[in-house]
Amino acid sequence: MTLAGVPILPEVEPDRTPFWRQVVRGLSQLGWLHNEFAAVFFVTAATVFNWRLGVAMVVSVLAATIAARLLRADAKMLGLGLYGFNSALMGLALVTFFKPGVTMWVWVPVLGAVVAVVNVLMVRWLSFPVLGAPFTAVFWAICIACAVLNPADAI
């Protein structure tokens, strides 16, 4: 990785990317990039807008990367941060659409990991790119569950 032609981080093959760079690249996937500087930009922008957004993004992607590694997900996709994309969206959505509190913060890493599990399974079972489908499926399931279980507080 270079900045203005100056090497900042060593280049690595996607299937040999260290854990911390997998997490950071997962954050950068919000812009369809695997660039650590883009991740810093996205997290900073979200945090400046609302500190909960930045924290939820990081926690969700961290949980997702751990879950994907435990499931022995595709190493190249991990290295590119692709399992972080849907989980970053989940972290942002939970903070945006649900009341802040202990319950929400418990669900941020849990649902970040759940989205990663759905993502890993979809990639294994489907022969086409899944893109944002794992996030969409899990988030809509949560919205429906909230409406059924607690209609007064539904989104």
For the chain (length 155 residues), average pLDDT per consecutive 10?
A: 77 91 94 90 97 98 98 95 96 93 95 97 93 96 87 57
- Length, in residues, of the chain: 155
Note the pLDDT of residue 155. Answer: 54
Note the pLDDT of residue 152. Answer: 58
Question: Residue 85 sits in a domain of what CATH number?
Answer: 1.10.3430.10
* CA geometry: angle 23, 24, 25, nearest 5 deg: 90
Note the pLDDT of residue 150. Answer: 75
User: Which of 74-77's residues contact partners 24+ apart within 8 Å by CB, and which partners?
Assistant: 74/123, 75/14, 75/15, 75/16, 76/14, 76/15, 77/14, 77/123
CA 28 to CA 80: how far, in whole Å?
9
Note the pLDDT of residue 11. Answer: 87
CA-closest candidate to residue 86, choices 121, 116, 107:
116
CA 55 to CA 57: how far, in whole Å?
5
Total domains in the chain come to 1
CA 16 to CA 52: how far, in whole Å?
31
Residues spanned by the domain of 82: 2-153
CA 141 to CA 105: how far, in whole Å?
18
> Residue 122, class by beta-carbon neighbours within 10 Å (0-12 exposed, 13-18 middle, 19+ buried)?
middle
